Amino acid sequence: MENKLNSISLATLHRLPKYLRILKSTTDDTISSTKIAEELNLSAIQVRKDLATVSKSEGKPKIGFEVKDLISDIEEYLNLNKSKDIIVVGAGRLGQALMNYTGFENDVNIKFAFDVDRKKCDNKKIFHNDRLDELVMKNNIHVAIITVPRDEAQKMCDNLVSLGIKAIWNFAPVNLKVPSDITIRNEDLSASLAVLLNRLNIK
Ligand code: NAD
């Protein structure tokens, strides 16, 4: 996520949800940066640096950070404490898998999905594209996930931006072009796998 969050590095940003998961799973009131670091295989210095970027909480020596303060600061930083309705465009295999995933943090809610294939539309949660403009605008939706085929993605992206979408999570294998005020994240499983295989030295 660029824009509002561009004051911190992307690497830090990626670590924040991981910190949140650990903080939420502990039953203790306080937690040390060393404990978080150990769980994530990071250095304690890295963890403290990341936390200082998003939180004013200061860890106390031998006690650590107040868990509830850190949770609240990270959630606020990531805007997770506000309800977020999201749409999915392209209700195929990946789109439906994302719709069925229940592990998104907090109030993130995939409200609708859209598809050009009427057979996939139930008109409850999955609608034909011809309802897209109306439902996005009526429901004040600002976040979209793109899971359409590659050749459809840029056209769909342009349409979403024209409807007021401000953040896009793109799974289509193309780097979408968006205006500078739009936050975009391109997801590429094959790139992640390539990194993994490269680390293992598998050619
Ligand atoms: P799929 O064929 O199962 O689903 C695509 C869906 O998009 C279909 O239901 C189709 O009817 C719909 N569609 C086509 N044009 C549309 C349009 N203009 N508006 C709305 N809906 C439209 O494909 P899939 O396996 O779910 O993959 C979806 C996309 O995600 C593809 O671009 C694929 O390459 C990509 N993908 C990316 C990753 C990744 O690592 N990022 C992994 C898997 C798939």
CATH number for the domain that contains residue 24: 1.10.10.10
My answer on whether 72 and 89 are in the same domain is no
- Do both 127 and 54 map to the same domain? no
Q: Report the predicted TM-score, pTM, of the whole model to 2 decimal places.
A: 0.72
Q: Considering its fold, how many domains does the chain have in total?
A: 2
Mean pLDDT over each residue of the chain, to the nearest integer: 88
Q: Domain check: are 114 and 65 in the same one?
A: no
Per-residue pLDDT of 103-141, as tens digits, reads 776 668 899 999 999 999 999 999 999 999 989 888 888
User: Does the residue 179 lie in any domain?
Assistant: yes
DSSP states of 54-112: H----PBTTTBEEHHHHHHHHHHHTTTTS-EEEEEE--SHHHHHHHH---S-TTEEEEE
Q: Residues lining ligand 1, judged by CB closer than 6 Å?
A: 89-95, 114-117, 120, 129, 147-150, 152, 156, 171-173, 187-190
Answer whether residue 198 is part of any domain.
no
Residue 186 lies in a domain: yes
Residues 101 and 167 in one domain: yes
pLDDT over 60 (residue 6): no
- Reduce the DSSP state of residue 182 to 3 states and report it: coil
- Is residue 96 domain-shared with residue 173, that is, in the same domain? yes
Say yes or no: 90 and 187 in one domain. Answer: yes
| Ligand 1 atom closest to 152 (CA) | 18
**Ligand 1 centroid, distance to 108 Cα (angstroms):** 21
Q: Are residues 33 and 101 in the same domain?
A: no
pLDDT the model gives residue 1: 37
Atom of ligand 1 nearest to the CA of 89: 20
| Statement to judge: residues 93 and 120 lie in one domain | yes
Say if CB 202 and CB 191 are below 8 A apart: no
pLDDT of residue 99: 94
Q: Whose CA is closest to atom 18 on ligand 1?
A: 152
From 89, 129, 130, 147, the mutation candidate for ligand 1 (largest count of ligand atoms within 8 A of CB) is: 147
Residues 114 and 176 in one domain: yes
Whether 36 and 93 map to the same domain: the answer is: no
3 vs 199, more confident: 199
- Asked if 102 and 73 sit in the same domain, the reply is no
Tell which atom from ligand 1 comes closest to the C-alpha of 95: 26
**Residue among 94, 131, 135, 195 whose CB has most ligand 1 atoms within 8 A, to mutate:** 94
pLDDT level of residue 190 (50, 70, 90 thresholds): confident
Sign of CA dihedral 164, 169, 174, 177: positive
Does one domain contain both 89 and 59?
no
Residues in the chain, overall count: 203
In whole angstroms, give the CA distance from residue 177 to residue 187: 14
Among 54, 77, 100, give the residue marking a domain's end: 77
| Alpha carbon distance 188, 196 (integer Å) | 13
Range of the domain at 121: 84-192
Look at residue 146 and tell me whether its pLDDT is greater than 60: yes
User: What CATH number is associated with residue 178?
Assistant: 3.40.50.720
Closest ligand 1 atom to the C-alpha of 114?
20
- The 10s digit of each residue's pLDDT in 13-61 is 888 888 988 998 999 999 999 999 999 999 999 999 999 999 988 888 8
